[in-house]
Amino acid sequence: MTAFPWGEAMGFGLGVLRLSPDAFWRMTPRELAAAHAALAGRRVVAPGRDAMAAMMARFPDEGHGVQNSTRPLLPLNGRVGEAVASGPAEKTC
């Protein structure tokens, strides 16, 4: 069992929510978690290995102009969303 993260909880309650110490210590952990979820939004969990394999099987990259390469994709003309596979990047200093 991991310890309750009191430092983070106090930082969020006192610093972000700007609760008085009395109001903070009267809150339950569930109330504090609800306040955090309301501000931070719902936490999204990455797909597991099985779900990722199923997506990869359903939507393969082959035949869609995407090369299977370990080389990084570099932006074309610095515009977001446009990328091309290329050789080693040139060093710029």
Please list the pLDDT of the chain residue by residue as tens digits (93 residues): 899 899 999 999 999 999 999 999 999 999 999 999 899 887 778 889 999 999 999 988 876 555 555 555 555 555 555 444 455 555 555
> What is the rounded CA–CA span in Å between residue 3 and residue 45?
22
pTM value is: 0.44
Region of 23 please: left (phi>0), alpha (psi -120 to 50) or beta. Answer: alpha
> What is the rounded CA–CA span in Å between residue 52 and residue 54?
5
Query: Do 73 and 81 form a contact (C-beta atoms < 8 A)?
Result: no
> What is the rounded CA–CA span in Å between residue 68 and residue 32?
46
